[in-house]
Amino acid sequence: KAGVTQTPRYLIKTRGQQVTLSCSPISGHRSVSWYQQTPGQGLQFLFEYFSETQRNKGNFPGRFSGRQFSNSRSEMNVSTLELGDSALYLCASSLGTGLASSYNEQFFGPGTRLTVL
């Protein structure tokens, strides 16, 4: 099976712009979770989508949003970019059994490295 893919791999934006990142999960996986990784804050959970619905959400401002399509592919959007949004954004897919993605092992994509200037 093909692994989790994320596009683009690298992105450079300026403050105030918006960005959309894409994630294609492993075939058959219905849950997609997004994480932000920074040197200072480490890995932080953004949100999880399951069957096109946001099932869980982390403590991030409303500028961070996402969606999931019927084929389980997911996108996340960050509007009005700030310098502090520079990070590695990781997407993970899992089968989705249980109440949350955290119930099962998660399969991570290579990440999108976003730099905000």
Partner 1 sequence: SQQGEEDPQALSIQEGENATMNCSYKTSINNLQWYRQNSGRGLVHLILIRSNEREKHSGRLRVTLDTSKKSSSLLITASRAADTASYFCATDDWKAQKLVFGQGTRLTINP
Check binding of 11 to partner 1 (CB under 8 A): no
- The region of 23-31, 37-45, 62-70, 75-83 touching partner 1 under the rule CB under 8 A is 37-45
Quick check: 79 and 60 in contact, CB under 8 A?
no
Closest approach of partner 1 to the CB of residue 106, in Å: 6
Distance CA(68)–CA(34), nearest Å, equals 11
Tokens representing 16 are: 């105030």
Distance CA(11)–CA(9), nearest Å, equals 7
Return residues touching partner 1 (CB under 8 A): 4, 33, 35, 42-45, 48, 55-56, 58, 88, 90, 92, 99-111, 113
